[in-house]
A and B are shown apart, each in its own frame.
Chain A
């Protein structure tokens, strides 16, 4: 999907503002005929929809997250910050688990996706587009059906589980605390849920990495080779640094939906794999405790925002806006 790298907005915002200050409407860029109000007429219907269905709902969620009362007695508007401390203390385990699972799934998707994107971009030749199509094709079927198919594949009687057992991979997973001690199954363990998350968000990792690899000027690699750099060294000093923006974008686009997902945990996991998404869903629909659900949603959003900012700081905002 040709989505812009997540988190680019800050840089884009600043860049455009600068252009406005200096250049103005009659700068050297595209300057179509027509009145100055034209762009505002074009954006306003869409922005009204985004305002009413994205910004206003977030405001409503914030108000709900601070309410007091219960479903039976009715909720009342208040500023009850205890909802937040309650949400954090009650659901700390699922929150932590969501971030750990999403992190492991992101790293796994990178490990699977980077070489795949590399092979398509550099060794695909004239089959490049076909290979790229093959990467996206599985995601045209239903998300739930794909996840349920994994349930079939990983089922206790399935050949994958027994093969893993025979290859002593289950003991390895046990050692890594990915499955409980003495487990002879994959389903309803951390392995199945993390595997599902990795699978379902893999294209979000592969596509941005592919785009950034594809943009690299091949002559740079040739120059490195001409200067007697080995293939691996050429990769490490030329290709890898230039593909970092794609890796950044791919990681964010994988991590964010994985951290908020509840389908994989519900279909492939057990009670020990509850994630924060499952909690939000059950607080809304089972306990009908809207303030608790809303404050959990906000905690999730805030933690992701902090994570994204730290990540940007760690790797430099230049790469993010690239």
Chain B
């Protein structure tokens, strides 16, 4: 390779990565910028700078209702999925048992099935059983796909831990419950927290599965979908920006918490 090419190649790679990041952020700039747009319904053309939407974003009741509903659903389904998924992960990492292969398969399949199929199959079951769609069917649907994500995440995080610490605690006379409380649980907690955050983010943003199983309920993504034809105001951009800020804050603080926890002892 010629010298010029050798010098140029890394620069080109960096430039490509920069363009890729720009591509990733372009819509985000648009979402944030248009939350400051001086527009009412059709927030598509720039009209001028205004803080109105930020001052009055809670004024639209359907919007705040949808957001509250989404948070409630995400909290409940995350709670259920985190408990169930972490238990499965713990069993798969800590024990060898007949059927662990089938368990792994059952965890991966929902992740490799298109959401339309997951959504429509649940709807088909609810129709068969005569269950009317609403709050609880959405929670159930979200809990289902989040269990898989939680189990897979926790499993990846706790694999390779030094489990002899548990034996040490027991050898020193700790009861199984105390061993779990003082050794096992603190060890696996960071993985569980990461999985719970992921599960919450997936639930609050899920559209396709929710669309099939929501009945008359309207979550935040469903609100956007139903209103977008008639035009969405800048207050929706405010909410989207707030969600971005909150999740950014959570991600950053979880990194800091992990660094802080990692400092004192080994692992």
Contact = CB atoms under 8 A, between A and B. Distances in A.
A3 B91 contact: no
Interface stretch (A79-87, A139-147, A215-223): A139-147
Contacts of B61: none
Interface residues of A, number: 107
A101 interface: no
A85 B137 CA distance: 32
Given A141-B31, A252-B112, A2 B157 contact: yes
B236 A145 contact: yes
Interface string B145-160: 0011101110011000
Contact of A50 (B28, B107, B128, B221): B107
A112 interface: yes
B144 A50 contact: yes
A58 B97 contact: no
Interface string A150-164: 111101010000000
A196 B205 CA distance: 17
A60 B118 CA distance: 12
A296 to B, nearest CB: 9
Residue of A55, A149, A276, A304 with most chain B CB atoms under a 10 A cut-off: A149
B189 to A, nearest CB: 17
Contacts, number: 297
A208 to B, nearest CB: 12
Interface in B210-241: 211-212, 220-221, 224-225, 228, 232, 236-237, 240-241
Given A47-B88, A49-B147, A135-B21, A199 B153 contact: no
A257 B117 CA distance: 10
Interface in B90-124: 90-118, 120-124
Q: For chain A, what secondary structure do more than half of its interface residues adopt (helix, strand, loop), or is it mixed?
A: helix
Interface string A111-153: 0110110111001000001010111111011111110111111
Interface in A4-38: 4, 6-9, 12-17, 19-20, 23-25, 27, 29-34, 36, 38
Interface of B: 1, 6, 9-10, 13-14, 16-17, 20-21, 23-28, 30-31, 34, 44-45, 80, 83-85, 87-88, 90-118, 120-125, 127-128, 140-141, 143-144, 147-149, 151-153, 156-157, 163, 166-167, 170, 176, 198, 201, 205, 207-208, 211-212, 220-221, 224-225, 228, 232, 236-237, 240-241, 243-244, 247-248, 251, 255
